Amino acid sequence: MDFAKLFSSYPKVIVELGMGDGRLLESLAKNDTRSLYVGIELSKEQCEQARSILDLENVLILQSSFEDIVPAFPDSSADRFIAILPDPAYIDEKKQDVWKPFYRIVHAKIKKNGTFQLVTEMTDKLLRPVSDGDYARWSEWLAASFSSIGFVTDWHEGAPAGYSSRCLDQFRGDPERIRMTTLDMKKSF
């Protein structure tokens, strides 16, 4: 696919990594019809579900690994990336040597002053409530990890109020044992 040609025909390009069943993409894209929304999802079943609810001209669904698709984007071509509750392989503290190179590629694909919003969750190994101390240490670690990639990073507890996704809606039901953090990141150069 010629991403350079496609992206240049829209004023803004927003990419969702691991979009699941597409319900967040749908709610964002239908209120912003001038922008192109690209959802990338590995699971065939999730993509089929997304296609069944998404009938918008400004949405492109790609069934593939984002590790294969994102490197094919031109550098500095996307306005915003979104990742809601990525699998542990793409955020776990012990696997950062594996996932950091991918987010460096994401950084390269974002335009100057473009943004990356990532929502992730912390749980206790024994599924006890997460303490404030553990939660703050982990959130600071997350923010520092993305700052080291080159993002200007802010974080706050919880997920954006207007967002709904299959996993978000499920996790919101257990806020003491599943503590979520939103990282709002900007590429400043």
User: Residues in the site for ligand SAM, rule: CB under 6 A?
Assistant: 18-20, 40-43, 46, 65-67, 84-87, 165-168
How far apart are CB 75 and ligand SAM at their closest, in Å? 20
For ligand SAM, which is the closer residue by CB, 35 or 164? 164
For ligand SAM, which is the closer residue by CB, 117 or 139? 117
Please give the single-letter amino acid code of residue 112. K
Please give the single-letter amino acid code of residue 128. R
How far apart are CB 1 and ligand SAM at their closest, in Å? 16
Whose CB is nearest to ligand SAM?
18
- Based on DSSP, count helices (H) and strands (E) in the chain, helices before strands: 7, 7
How far apart are CB 82 and ligand SAM at their closest, in Å? 9
Question: Rounded to whole angstroms, how far apart are CA atoms 133 and 147?
Answer: 21
For ligand SAM, which is the closer residue by CB, 78 or 84? 84
For ligand SAM, which is the closer residue by CB, 172 or 188? 172
∠ CA 99-101-106 to the nearest 5 degrees?
A: 95
Whole-angstrom CA distances from 42 to 60, 69, 91, 140 are 14, 11, 17, 30
How far apart are CB 105 and ligand SAM at their closest, in Å? 12
Is 45 in a helix, a strand, or coil? helix
- Residue 155: other Cβ atoms inside 10 A: 16
How far apart are CB 77 and ligand SAM at their closest, in Å? 19
Whole-angstrom CA distances from 76 to 23, 59, 111, 124, 143 are 27, 20, 4, 38, 22
For ligand SAM, which is the closer residue by CB, 87 or 92? 87
